[in-house]
Chains A and B, each alone.
Chain A
Amino acid sequence: MSTNLVLTIALPLLGAFLLPVLMRSSVAIALWSGPAILVYGCWTVAELWLSGFAQPLSIAIGGFAPPLGINLYVDSLALLFAFAVQLLGLVFWPFTLDQESARRQSLMLLLVAASTGLALSGDLFNLYVFYELAAVATFGLASASGSGAAYVATLRYLILSGIGSVLTLFGIALIYSQTGTLNLAHLAQLAPAQLNNSLGLTAFLAILIGIGVKAELFPVNTWVPEIYATASTRLSAFLAGLLSKLALLIILRLLLLIFHQPEAAQVILILGILGVISGELAAWRAKEMKRMLAFSSIGQLGMIFIAMALPDGKGMLAVLALALHHLIIKSGLFMLAEDWGGALERLRGSAKASPLGAVLFVLFSLSLVGMPPLPGFWAKFVLITELAAQVEPLYLLGLTVFLLATVVEASYLFRIAATLYSNPAPDTLSEEIPKSKGLSLATASLFGAGMIAVALLIAPVGDGLQAIAAQAQDVDLYITTVSPAVSGGSQ
């Protein structure tokens, strides 16, 4: 039932509202209601997928036909991300029993609802609302660790994000005053005539910078290392793994549907290249795992931005492949970092203490740098073949930077791997060596298993992604699916 998809947004919200109340009456119900909602969400999405989902569809909320009301646009891409959101929400569920667990869980549910909304929504302003909801929930979760550093980091993030939303709002205002509509499909119809000018471009750039804050776009990503270092690892994993991808998804949709100006792509390309350079280089010197992952994630997202900048949606497949790959790998790495945070030097000998964790780390790293049979290679392969096909020097610069960054990446990732496998310093006790264990290791193993599964099934996965990319790339399909018809003109 396709309309059930609305429930993947509504139910988490409902759960979030009721959780603090429920907690008072029955801890058990409250404890399990969140996961139950997410399981149901997963199941809803999966069921839709499995019941022969082929054509994208549009769900009008409130029964109002799209350009007037808000619609959810459901294609394979959106569905994929919706599923990922629900699943990762479950995986990163804060299973704590302390005083604030109700609050945390309800924030998590809000975050999941907002993320699902980001994946599905087909309305510009609605996207903004969900974006803000996700942001606020993130602030709450990020500051939840209760340290002074977390507060400062969150506040800085909040202010940056606030400016970003001001700019986004400004961009939306520009678009609305130029076209008089907010529906993406409708905008896609109107864009060639009305937004193909400097005004439209300005609007796009304002939105790009605004949303780029979440997508870790250079240089509005300065919050990344602070937040990832102070917030809980699970949140970091969710932010780096998923939320950034959703922000990317929005930018990608806007770029594909509405803003076809070459300048838009160029800006993204330049910022992407700078992101790669700054992120990977900064990670090279990081002395601590979480921060290294934060910087590395900036670099990886820069790579995705480079892919996104390819003209005519050519980079769609690459964006998708890189994004999903990064989602799996970074989430896994962050889960490992949960126990392996702190100075890298402390990690000496950890491989002996937790061999599985070390092996997973090596596997993730290998995939991240693109060692061939692993999925990372294919993602990178798709990107560089597309990049090399471009004639403009900027793209070739992107290619060069991309390749060099990979070298740097390999260098720092394997420095850590080597630390893990080296012998502990003579005076350390075996209890002092951090071990990767318990839930976080299990979660990381889950991602590892997923990665290996993808590596083994690379051919069907590749075909599937190609189909998804082709569908997402089809602007006409988007417009006809939503079919935003406005009977009269203005006035």
Chain B
Amino acid sequence: MMLTLLDELLLFSGATLLVALFIGRGLAAGWMVTILYGGQLLALLKMAVLGYGGGTIASSLSFEIMGQELSWRFDGLSWFFALITIGSALLSSWFSCGAWERSYIRQGGNIWLFHTAMALNVFTMLILLASGDLLSLFIGWELVSWAGFLLMVLAGGVATSAAMRYITYAMAGGMAIFGGLALIYTASGSLQLEAVTTAVEQMSGAKLWLLVILFGGGFGVKMGLMPFHLWQAPAYAETPGPGSAFLGAISSRMGLFAILLVLVKLFGIVNIESLKLPFTPIDARDLLAWIAVFTIILPTFTAMKQNDARHLLAWHGIGQGGYMLLGVVVADAMGGAGGLLHVFNHATYQAALFMAVTAVIYRTGTSDLNKLGGLVVRMPLSFVVLLIGIIGLAGLPPMNGFVSKWLVYRSLLNQGMPLLFLAAVIGTLGTILSVYKLIHNIFLGQLRVEHEHVSEAPWSMMIPMLILSAIIFVTGLLPGIPLEWVASALQTVGLPVPDHTLGGIESASGSLDMIWVIGVLFAGFGVGALVFYSAGRSKRVHQLDNYAGGHFLSADVRYQYSDNFYAGLMHLIGGWYRGSFLWLERSIRSLVEFLSLGMQGLYRRANAEFYLLTTALFVIAWVVI
């Protein structure tokens, strides 16, 4: 049997899983797994170089079960997502080797389970990305959900309850998809990918709506779209460090992949657009776009209120997902490219950010933003990584986040969607505010006494972080490289591809050339530095040599402004954080609880025979009458 390139990749990934499973207890196991991830990456790149040029590569694996064909294949879209998956797994795993691993074991963690869970996640994600029909898609989907659960639940304690919440949401989403699948199967008699198109042709408006809601909702749960976003932040944040880097980078993007595959590619944006909400001018696409926008704004502003670095980042992860969906839903050349490029960009900076925070936790033992500060003098490289990460996250030049957001803005501008545009910008502004809080509270300001002797993160952690930072910068400088991948993915999905150059986008209505922009920016910095340093030498003073309104500062004085960072803003919008979604979630829970109580009561009532009698009466009365 000839192994196709996809087979090789999957075998490699399976082998990684087996290695983690069987020899994952040894200390060298982490390195071995990392190397195997590298092998997967090579296999993936080999695929791009050798066998795949916009077409698809089939796997030689296929089944027929109960009359259903199951097959797996790779195309441009899968490749793009697989690249991010394997890349982030490689770096996260690398990050986890050595120092972090040892400290994890010291704290009673099960490193074997961790490596296995990571490998399992990667493997299942590849399976999902390779799915060649709806059934294999669903299978992959569920596998990914449960693999994610495994990774999330590792840390125990708070993580367990977060993971439990996750699995309830994920199951609900999975069941929605299951229902959608059944609808399609009924309409078309098949679960091949083409069946969706057939089903769409046959179905009426109401059923199509149902289908869009089922699929959109189901996939949206994984993306953390509103109103299904509550689970994500705690679940990702409480995962052991490298795990949260990995999850934050790619896990929830599986939802976007599925949306792209099912709703955009198979369903067709046109069909979605043709679904009108009765009595309103809104169609299903607008609805999705607005959901995306709310997903941008609300989690971003929730992030602003977080006092734990990991939670803050995780909340942003949800918000950034909104940009991706927004771009994809707008579905013109720039929007699609922006959405997909943002997947890549987000993966890079989110992983870098989580790693930096993990490095801080590794050294200081806490990620509480009110218990840190001033670490820049002790961990300068970590600071740089975090800085690069937050510039990317906030979408400012010169990092890669800017390019993808620029594309999304441009598409909204071109399509004339002012409110969505405005909302997207509000999201960005909110991001800037909260990431400043992040970097300020960790790295700037007063260094605490207990962190006086903290040293820089070990190199085993530093190198992947630096690699990621480099990627963030380089893909910001030369967005043409990832855009090439994005273009191939866009073609697969059937969306238009923008004209792109190495430095950015070529367009009649306003181009972007990052090489120039970054060039002048750095030239400007150079000039600024020239002006600045040409003046007299400055004297480095102690951090407590500071203006204190006439008081003398000493080491025991807590002189850091961290709590309630945006007091003025919160004074105005604080009242809007009513936790309506939490309330909703809780009330659903209470409802189930109440019903459950009722049902138990039903079964515990003394007079069981009464039920029998009544049932018999009603049933027979129904027949007779």
A–B contact via C-beta, under 8 angstroms: yes
Is B595 on the interface with A (CB-CB < 8 A)? yes
Interface of chain A residues 377 through 393 with chain B (CB within 8 A) = 377-378, 380-382, 384-385, 387-389
User: Contact flags (1/0) for A181-192 with B, using CB distance below 8 Å?
Assistant: 000000000000
Is B592 on the interface with A (CB-CB < 8 A)? yes
B interface SS class: helix
Give every chain A residue within 8 A of B597 (Cβ-Cβ).
285
- Among listed B460-468, B559-567, B609-617, interface-contacting one: B609-617
User: Contact flags (1/0) for A353-393 with B, using CB distance below 8 Å?
Assistant: 00000000000001001111100011011101101110000
Pair A222/B623 contact, Cβ less than 8 Å: no
Give every chain A residue within 8 A of B595 (Cβ-Cβ).
281
Central interface residue in B135, B149, B175, B183, by most chain A CB within 10 Å:
B175
User: Contact flags (1/0) for B146-162 with A, using CB distance below 8 Å?
Assistant: 10010001001100110
Pair B160/A422 contact, Cβ less than 8 Å: yes
Is B138 on the interface with A (CB-CB < 8 A)? yes
Within the complex, what minimum Cβ distance (angstroms) separates B96 from chain A?
Answer: 21
Nearest-neighbor residue (CB-CB) of B177 within chain A:
A403
16 A-B interface contacts by CB (under 8 A): A156-B608, A160-B612, A163-B613, A198-B624, A205-B619, A220-B608, A263-B623, A281-B599, A285-B593, A373-B139, A384-B178, A403-B178, A411-B167, A422-B160, A459-B64, A466-B66
Is A458 on the interface with B (CB-CB < 8 A)? yes
Nearest-neighbor residue (CB-CB) of B614 within chain A:
A219
Give every chain A residue within 8 A of B172 (Cβ-Cβ).
404, 407
- Among listed A7-15, A306-314, A413-421, interface-contacting one: A413-421
Complex Cα gap A421–B161 (Å): 12
Is B171 on the interface with A (CB-CB < 8 A)? yes
The 9 A-B residue pairs with the shortest CB-CB distance, nearest first, are A388-B182, A222-B608, A372-B139, A403-B175, A219-B611, A282-B599, A285-B596, A410-B171, A462-B66
User: Contact flags (1/0) for B168-212 with A, using CB distance below 8 Å?
Assistant: 100110011011011101100000000000000000000000000
Is B532 on the interface with A (CB-CB < 8 A)? no
Pair B592/A267 contact, Cβ less than 8 Å: no
Pair A366/B146 contact, Cβ less than 8 Å: yes
Is A91 on the interface with B (CB-CB < 8 A)? no
Interface size class of A (residues with CB under 8 A): 35 or more
Nearest-neighbor residue (CB-CB) of B625 within chain A:
A198
Nearest-neighbor residue (CB-CB) of A460 within chain B:
B65
Nearest-neighbor residue (CB-CB) of B167 within chain A:
A414
Interface of chain A residues 153 through 173 with chain B (CB within 8 A) = 156, 159-160, 163-164, 167
Pair B65/A372 contact, Cβ less than 8 Å: no
Give every chain B residue within 8 A of A282 (Cβ-Cβ).
596, 599-600, 602-603
Could you list 18 further interchain pairs (A-B, Cβ under 8 angstroms) beyond the known A279-B599, A459-B66? A163-B612, A205-B616, A208-B619, A219-B611, A223-B608, A281-B596, A281-B598, A281-B599, A282-B603, A295-B603, A377-B139, A378-B66, A381-B135, A388-B183, A410-B171, A418-B164, A421-B160, A459-B63
Is B102 on the interface with A (CB-CB < 8 A)? no
A400-B179 in contact given A209-B619, A224-B603, A371-B142 (Cβ < 8 Å)? yes
Within the complex, what minimum Cβ distance (angstroms) separates A275 from chain B?
Answer: 11
Pair B611/A159 contact, Cβ less than 8 Å: no
Q: Which B residues form the contact surface with A (CB < 8 A)?
A: 63-66, 135, 138-139, 142-143, 146, 149, 153, 156-157, 160-161, 163-164, 167-168, 171-172, 175-176, 178-179, 181-183, 185-186, 592-593, 595-600, 602-605, 608-609, 611-613, 615-616, 619-620, 622-624
A418-B168 in contact given A282-B603, A459-B64, A462-B65 (Cβ < 8 Å)? no
Within the complex, what minimum Cβ distance (angstroms) separates A268 from chain B?
Answer: 10
Complex Cα gap A131–B391 (Å): 74
User: Contact flags (1/0) for A278-298 with B, using CB distance below 8 Å?
Assistant: 110110111000000001000
Complex Cα gap A221–B608 (Å): 8
Complex Cα gap A378–B592 (Å): 28
A408-B592 in contact given A219-B602, A278-B603, A282-B603 (Cβ < 8 Å)? yes
User: Contact flags (1/0) for A81-123 with B, using CB distance below 8 Å?
Assistant: 0000000000000000000000000000000000000000000
Pair B175/A209 contact, Cβ less than 8 Å: no
Is A277 on the interface with B (CB-CB < 8 A)? yes
Is A225 on the interface with B (CB-CB < 8 A)? yes
Nearest-neighbor residue (CB-CB) of A390 within chain B:
B186
Nearest-neighbor residue (CB-CB) of B595 within chain A:
A281
Within the complex, what minimum Cβ distance (angstroms) separates A325 from chain B?
Answer: 13
Pair A371/B616 contact, Cβ less than 8 Å: no
Nearest-neighbor residue (CB-CB) of B168 within chain A:
A411
Nearest-neighbor residue (CB-CB) of B179 within chain A:
A403
Within the complex, what minimum Cβ distance (angstroms) separates B611 from chain A?
Answer: 4
Complex Cα gap A271–B623 (Å): 15
Is A423 on the interface with B (CB-CB < 8 A)? yes
Give every chain B residue within 8 A of A421 (Cβ-Cβ).
153, 156, 160
Give every chain B residue within 8 A of A277 (Cβ-Cβ).
599
Is A406 on the interface with B (CB-CB < 8 A)? yes
Complex Cα gap A291–B171 (Å): 23
Give every chain A residue within 8 A of B619 (Cβ-Cβ).
205, 208-209, 267
Complex Cα gap A381–B609 (Å): 36
Give every chain A residue within 8 A of B63 (Cβ-Cβ).
459
Give every chain A residue within 8 A of B139 (Cβ-Cβ).
372-373, 377
Within the complex, what minimum Cβ distance (angstroms) separates B146 from chain A?
Answer: 6
Within the complex, what minimum Cβ distance (angstroms) separates A346 from chain B?
Answer: 17
Q: Which of A209, A373, A459 contacts B615 (CB 8 A)?
A: A209
Give every chain A residue within 8 A of B171 (Cβ-Cβ).
369, 406-407, 410-411
Within the complex, what minimum Cβ distance (angstroms) separates A40 from chain B?
Answer: 34
Complex Cα gap A378–B168 (Å): 21
Within the complex, what minimum Cβ distance (angstroms) separates A465 from chain B?
Answer: 8
A198-B623 in contact given A284-B592, A369-B171 (Cβ < 8 Å)? yes
Complex Cα gap A163–B153 (Å): 48
A372-B138 in contact given A407-B172, A459-B65 (Cβ < 8 Å)? yes
Complex Cα gap A295–B160 (Å): 24
Complex Cα gap A366–B592 (Å): 22
Q: Which of B156, B186, B598, B608 contacts A160 (CB 8 A)?
A: B608
A414-B176 in contact given A219-B615, A377-B142, A466-B66 (Cβ < 8 Å)? no
Pair B604/A225 contact, Cβ less than 8 Å: yes
Give every chain A residue within 8 A of B623 (Cβ-Cβ).
198, 201-202, 205, 263
Is A206 on the interface with B (CB-CB < 8 A)? yes
Within the complex, what minimum Cβ distance (angstroms) separates B521 from chain A?
Answer: 50
Complex Cα gap A55–B436 (Å): 77
User: Contact flags (1/0) for A249-281 with B, using CB distance below 8 Å?
Assistant: 000000000000001000100010000011101
Pair B599/A278 contact, Cβ less than 8 Å: yes
Complex Cα gap A462–B70 (Å): 14
Nearest-neighbor residue (CB-CB) of B142 within chain A:
A372
Q: Which of B138, B178, B609 contacts A159 (CB 8 A)?
A: B609
Central interface residue in B163, B608, B622, by most chain A CB within 10 Å:
B608
Complex Cα gap A160–B609 (Å): 6
Nearest-neighbor residue (CB-CB) of A369 within chain B:
B171
Complex Cα gap A370–B185 (Å): 18
Pair B605/A222 contact, Cβ less than 8 Å: yes
Complex Cα gap A206–B619 (Å): 9
Is A347 on the interface with B (CB-CB < 8 A)? no
Is A399 on the interface with B (CB-CB < 8 A)? yes
Complex Cα gap A414–B65 (Å): 28
Give every chain A residue within 8 A of B64 (Cβ-Cβ).
459
Pair A225/B609 contact, Cβ less than 8 Å: no
Give every chain A residue within 8 A of B609 (Cβ-Cβ).
159-160, 163
A407-B66 in contact given A160-B608, A278-B599 (Cβ < 8 Å)? no
Give every chain B residue within 8 A of A380 (Cβ-Cβ).
178
Complex Cα gap A219–B164 (Å): 31
Give every chain A residue within 8 A of B168 (Cβ-Cβ).
407, 410-411
Pair B612/A205 contact, Cβ less than 8 Å: no
Complex Cα gap A213–B620 (Å): 17
Give every chain B residue within 8 A of A370 (Cβ-Cβ).
142, 178
Within the complex, what minimum Cβ distance (angstroms) separates B257 from chain A?
Answer: 17
Give every chain A residue within 8 A of B185 (Cβ-Cβ).
385, 388-389
Complex Cα gap A385–B190 (Å): 10
